[in-house]
Amino acid sequence: MSADVVAMWDVSLSDGIFRIEFEHGTATGRRVIYINGKEVFRRDWMFRLVGKETFPVGSAGTKATINIEAITGFAYEYTLKIDGKSFQTFMANRSKTSKTWLLKLDGADCRIVLEKDTMNVWCNGQQMETTGDFGDDSTETHFAVGDHECFITASSSNKKRSGIIHSLLIDGTRVPEVME
């Protein structure tokens, strides 16, 4: 990590967790953005030390904006917006609109994400081919990871505050949900 990296955020999206690092040279105005260690944006010799930089994140090109504001003298504040929302609001909403499961499958780490609004399923950054099965009191979204049969059930909790409960089963075994 460079000495000029002044801010860092870990952004959880359906296709992965992205580490965004922002480098700001306060003497030169240089601005460099790295995503997962790879440089994706650079501006050298900026006369304005404050402002905004917008860039895409992830395979869907989610819009991210870093805002640079002067607090006092040579002190700066750096804030990140994702899809027009503050980082904190975006991450809080994300936990409401998606479910994530982390597990080991055939000895490898596996991250499965359900987007509740679209019912799209992602595994380790790849959108999965799914089929839906609709029953009387639940739906099942079926997909395969390697040789493993997987499905996510969506059923009513019968409680207004809890809403719909989503569960992941792999080869018939329930996988506990995790919070990212």
pLDDT in tens, 17-56: 999 999 988 777 789 999 999 999 998 876 677 889 999 9
Least Cα distance to 8 among 86, 66, 75, 56 occurs for 66
Which structure tokens are listed for 68? 């640079």
Q: Where are the domains positioned within the chain?
A: 5-83, 97-175
User: From CA 31, how far away is CA 66, in angstroms rounded?
Assistant: 10
Between CA 71 and CA 64 the distance in angstroms is: 22
Is 74 strand, coil or helix?
coil
Domain 5-83 has CATH 2.40.128.180: yes
The whole-chain average pLDDT of the chain stands at 88
Please provide the DSSP assignment of 132-180 as one string: EEE-SSEEEEEEEETTEEEEEEEEE-S-TTT-EEEEEEETTEEE--B--
One fold for 5-83 and 97-175:
yes
Fold of domain 97-175: Lipocalin (2.40.128)
Residue scoring higher pLDDT (90 or 73) = 90
